[in-house]
Structure 1
Amino acid sequence: MRTRIALGLVGAVALVGALLTLGPSAGAAVPDTVPLKITNNSGRAEQLYVYNLGTLLSTGRQGWADAAGGFHAWPAGGTPPTPAPDASIAGPAAGGSATIRIPRFSGRIYFSYGHKLDFRLTTGGLVQPAVQNPGDPNRNILFNWSEYTLNDSGLWLNSTQVDMFSAPYAVGVQRADGSTLSTGHLKAGGYNGFFNALRGQPGGWANLVQTRSDGTVLRALSPLYGVETGALPANVMADYVNRVWQKYATTTLTVTPFADRPGTKYYGRVSGGVLNFTDSSGAFVTGFRKPDAASVFGCHRLLDAPNDAVRGPISRTLCAGFNRSTLLVNPNQPDTTTAAFYQDVVTNHYARTIHAQMADGKAYAFAFDDVGQQESLVHDGSPRQAYLTLDPLS
């Protein structure tokens, strides 16, 4: 089951799955800090800046870590937001590597090229960059971030495109036995391939791409932000959602949300405009009104997924089915046969294009892309070292 871990960032949620609900603690096998080797294969000559921001799990305090893994709490913020202390760490030059230490955080590793990021503090905590806002001071900076949690049960480290697709990178971890896991690398030419494909997709998808005045391609916004800003039509998913509602007015949708509990099933039928679910005894457990595109792309609002044992697991399964457009071809969800993903003309073309360009096919292209283990995530209970590799923008 997926658990969302708060980062202490205003408007932000870490998207690393199953972090605090796992089994026995690894205890002393997990050190207080783990080395993170950052390798700059970007080919870009600009100064690289690195940031390690998050919540210290031992105290719940928000702050940042220096290169040695030392924790620094944020000072009080204000209204309007006040500038945050400079938490930047000088990153390695192109072709080089540098190692920092990451503490027991639920946090993010940001990196930016050529310019430091502008972070602000409100009375509620850190304000993360919101480049869907034309007035955000970071809008014209090329940057990206990875997410991680380090706790008693080990290290989880992912690459993410939930909010945007931008400067490419991969993550990795060296396990206790010396072997290494990695994910997040694009195929050769995958960076340009993604943007070319998105620009060629009719229906407003090209409007997700943001370019700087000097011609630098900065990012593609997620379709959630596209809908919220008007770059994508608000009805971009309506035809597919309507067809799903029609199908399940006369057909039963079976959801088996836990791979390790195949006997736990829920049965959905549309009645009175609501997709109602019952359990194996026939008792009603939860219902969903017809979701709009923002609910589908954001896996929230009408597809809200609380961290509970019933509605959340059903909702995340529906979210994956809508984004991957598998609900019409398979009444048994989740569908984990990737050949059926994104085949409908109405689908999340942003997520489709990202997965098509990944070397291993794995990505976090929407919030519950971990359904069916399609996420770009590495984990080890006794990590020796973590890796962040910045790849070419080509």
Structure 2
Amino acid sequence: MLAILRHRWPAVAAAAALLGALLTFGTTPPADAAVPATIPLQITNNSGRGDPLHVYILGTSLTTGQQGWADANGTFHPWPAGGNPPTPAPDASVPGPAAGQSSTIRIPKLSGRIYFSYGQKLVFKLATGGLVQPAVQNPSDPNRDILFNWSEYTLNDSGLWLNSTQVDMFSAPYSVGVQRADGSASSTGRLEPGGYNGVFSALRAQSGGWGGLIQTRSDGTVLRALSPLYGLETGTLPTSAMDDYIDRVWQKYATTTLTVTPFANQPDTKYYGRVSGGVLNFTNGSGTVVTSFQKPDASSVFGCHRLLDAPNDEVRGPISRTLCAGFNRSTLLTNPNQPDTSAANFYQDAVTNHYARIIHDRMADGKAYAFAFDDVGHHESLVHDGDPRQAYLTLDPFN
């Protein structure tokens, strides 16, 4: 899958980008498949928690282009106009099943998010530009002390894409699934037994400030671990967290060529990188410089943005997402041919994205979206089908 998903965007843009990426790799459904306007979403609450569960289906209608929310029947409701300062959004919550129970709602053709929260409803507001998403890296965010999480999805005429994501944070555990027309099903995103607590324990044990990513409530309840990008922004991770590795990469490719083959289905499309004058220049097969990168910092690496910006084009974006994956997984020094898609080679350097390493280590199938381009090499926690019959969201135990 071409890795264009950018989870730090609004979910709508992320899902739309993911859709474009998937279609590039020929995952469209058979010509005679007809995806209905809504499909069932079965929500199973295996969390073991007694708190009331609140579910939200939010996004952009692929029929009208409007932002809004869906009710339990899959009916889409556009948001009313927002304000400055932002005004309270209508209550879009759907009651979720109690612990040990399942319930089924319908999801419409949207690019958006499926939020769920325990105990309290989430606070959503509307600005003049649309919905204000929760941003718990901000200590004054009204959702800071609420235990919640979300999945991202796109449902359109080409099928369903549904993922679990830890790009912004690791929190309430869940897995996703899809049932196909032949009755078979696939799922992903489930932690191994003990994996939820194991992630927090491993972060606390990792030197260098990684334990500071963990947020707790005043009563001691562990709520989440922020992504390392937000750790930088909140000051819990030092801005120099990746400097040593980045410096070594820049030094290596001053005398060695970095070969990037960004498209799995186009093995003859290659770009060649060399550092000159402190800049990493990439040339095509004719020797023409096609794009250049200044030396990135930790924020650029963890966020796959800024100095590693990845526009949705055919050259810079694909090269940048390959670099981003190589930096986060620390494979750029050990393999001059990128992307390196072998999980056995990931996170082997002492300087790496330990948040991503720790999460992947504790996933039952090894797959996760622990950074924006974690789908490079098919290591993402995503299910897709061109003719989906039912989607699944399973809330897993906190152990």
2:281 and 2:306 map into 1 onto residues whose CA distance is 17
Q: Figure out how many residues of one structure are paired with residues of the other and give that number.
A: 393
- For residue 381 of structure 1, report the CA deviation from its aligned partner: 0.3
Aligned match of 1:14: 14
- Residue type at the aligned position of 2:232: V
- 1:84 has 2:85 as partner: no
Aligned match of 1:68: 73
- For residue 58 of structure 1, report the CA deviation from its aligned partner: 1.3
- For residue 13 of structure 1, report the CA deviation from its aligned partner: 4.6
- 1:237 has 2:242 as partner: yes
1:102 and 1:116 map into 2 onto residues whose CA distance is 20
**Superposition pairs for residues 1-394 of structure 1, below 5 Å?**
1-4=2-5, 9=10, 13-14=13-14, 18-20=18-20, 22=23, 23=26, 29-394=34-399
- For residue 20 of structure 1, report the CA deviation from its aligned partner: 3.2
3-state SS of paired residue (1:245): helix
* Cα distance change of structure 1 residues 387 and 12 upon mapping to structure 2, 3 Å threshold: closer
3-state SS of paired residue (1:87): coil
Q: Contact 2:74/2:108 (CA < 8 Å) preserved in 1? A: yes
- For residue 5 of structure 1, report the CA deviation from its aligned partner: 7.9
2:234 and 2:323 map into 1 onto residues whose CA distance is 24
Q: Deviations over 1:186-220 (max 9, x none)?
A: 00000000000000000000000000111110000
2:108 and 2:8 map into 1 onto residues whose CA distance is 14
Q: Deviations over 1:326-375 (max 9, x none)?
A: 00000000001111100100000000000000000000000000000000
* Cα distance change of structure 1 residues 16 and 163 upon mapping to structure 2, 3 Å threshold: farther
1:196 and 1:277 map into 2 onto residues whose CA distance is 41
Q: Deviations over 1:14-69 (max 9, x none)?
A: 25764135155656521110100000000000000000000001111000000000
1:350 and 1:3 map into 2 onto residues whose CA distance is 21
- For residue 8 of structure 1, report the CA deviation from its aligned partner: 8.9
- Residue type at the aligned position of 1:136: D
3-state SS of paired residue (1:297): helix
- Residue type at the aligned position of 1:269: R
Instruction: Output the TM-score relative to the length of structure 1.
Output: 0.97
2:15 and 2:372 map into 1 onto residues whose CA distance is 7
1:297 and 1:96 map into 2 onto residues whose CA distance is 38
* Cα distance change of structure 1 residues 6 and 240 upon mapping to structure 2, 3 Å threshold: closer
Q: Contact 1:204/1:232 (CA < 8 Å) preserved in 2? A: yes
3-state SS of paired residue (1:111): strand
Q: Deviations over 1:78-101 (max 9, x none)?
A: 011100000000000000000010
Q: Contact 1:266/1:278 (CA < 8 Å) preserved in 2? A: yes
Q: Contact 2:7/2:168 (CA < 8 Å) preserved in 1? A: no
- For residue 6 of structure 1, report the CA deviation from its aligned partner: 9.3
* Cα distance change of structure 1 residues 119 and 18 upon mapping to structure 2, 3 Å threshold: closer
Q: Contact 1:16/1:156 (CA < 8 Å) preserved in 2? A: no
- Residue type at the aligned position of 1:47: P
Q: Contact 2:8/2:168 (CA < 8 Å) preserved in 1? A: no
* Cα distance change of structure 1 residues 3 and 317 upon mapping to structure 2, 3 Å threshold: closer
2:110 and 2:32 map into 1 onto residues whose CA distance is 16
3-state SS of paired residue (1:270): strand
Instruction: Output the TM-score relative to the length of structure 2.
Output: 0.96
Structure 2 unaligned runs (5+)?
none
Q: Deviations over 1:98-123 (max 9, x none)?
A: 00100000010000000000000000
2:103 and 2:395 map into 1 onto residues whose CA distance is 12
- Residue type at the aligned position of 1:372: G
2:7 and 2:231 map into 1 onto residues whose CA distance is 24
Q: Contact 1:7/1:13 (CA < 8 Å) preserved in 2? A: no
- For residue 222 of structure 1, report the CA deviation from its aligned partner: 0.2
Q: Contact 2:304/2:310 (CA < 8 Å) preserved in 1? A: yes
- For residue 229 of structure 1, report the CA deviation from its aligned partner: 1.1
Q: Contact 1:8/1:54 (CA < 8 Å) preserved in 2? A: no
3-state SS of paired residue (2:341): coil
1:290 and 1:221 map into 2 onto residues whose CA distance is 25
3-state SS of paired residue (1:389): strand
* Cα distance change of structure 1 residues 43 and 118 upon mapping to structure 2, 3 Å threshold: same
Structure 1 unaligned runs (5+)?
none
Q: Contact 2:8/2:167 (CA < 8 Å) preserved in 1? A: no
Q: Contact 1:172/1:181 (CA < 8 Å) preserved in 2? A: yes
2:344 and 2:8 map into 1 onto residues whose CA distance is 34
Q: Contact 2:3/2:374 (CA < 8 Å) preserved in 1? A: no
- For residue 7 of structure 1, report the CA deviation from its aligned partner: 10
Q: Contact 1:276/1:287 (CA < 8 Å) preserved in 2? A: yes
Q: Contact 2:147/2:172 (CA < 8 Å) preserved in 1? A: yes
Q: Contact 2:192/2:364 (CA < 8 Å) preserved in 1? A: yes
- RMSD after superposition: 1.6
Q: Contact 2:280/2:294 (CA < 8 Å) preserved in 1? A: yes
2:17 and 2:186 map into 1 onto residues whose CA distance is 17
